[in-house]
Amino acid sequence: VLERLYATAGGLPENDKIEAFCNIGVLSGNCGEHELSLKAFEAAESIEGCGRDNSLNVAVALGQLGRVDEAVTKAKFCDKKMSRSHTILANLLQDQGNFDDSLEEYRIAVRQDKGFLLPIQNGTEVGLKLMRFDVVEELQDYLQYVKGQDIECALVKAYFHEARGHPWDAIETLLP
């Protein structure tokens, strides 16, 4: 079905193609069809231009296919003012095993996308792996901006306390 939708999207009016290809890319990725996802995002990128939203989508799809070096290169050339750009680059750098640069990107991401839990969660994981408690504490400060995810935020806090050797603080964080 998704392949047929992809084929049909090429015949849409020009102003509808980007959205159609982007939606097909998202659906394909969610279904584990990462090759088609990449193809759809590349089609959207060819219309939209490089360095924009669909270039980030291409980077994510490349990463899903295990082509992490290509994904990192693509993400590095995207406009860093775009929402989620630093989080995506940080995730890819983490996948690449480049933890120091990944942690720095997560630090930027939490400031750029206040209220987005993912860079706090992933940055906490990387920071603890690197034993950078100072940076993790900085990331934890941004949990106050996350709304509607109280349980998830409590788990991130508890993970940090437990890793620092404060199990009672971790337990206290999880209590109602």
Residue 45, number of CB atoms within 10 A of its CB: 23
Q: For residue 16, what pLDDT band results from cuts at 50, 70 and 90?
A: very high
Q: For residue 176, what pLDDT band results from cuts at 50, 70 and 90?
A: confident
Q: What is the mean pLDDT of the chain?
A: 96
What are the structure tokens assigned to 62, written together?
A: 């490349």
pLDDT number for residue 165: 95
CA-to-CA dists, residue 130 to 94, 126, 135, 153, angstroms: 12, 6, 10, 21
Q: Is 3 helix (H, G, I), strand (E, B) or coil?
A: helix
Measure the CA–CA gap between 113 and 43, rounded to whole angstroms: 27
pLDDT number for residue 117: 98
Give this prediction's pTM.
Answer: 0.91
pLDDT at 34 over 90: yes
pLDDT number for residue 97: 97
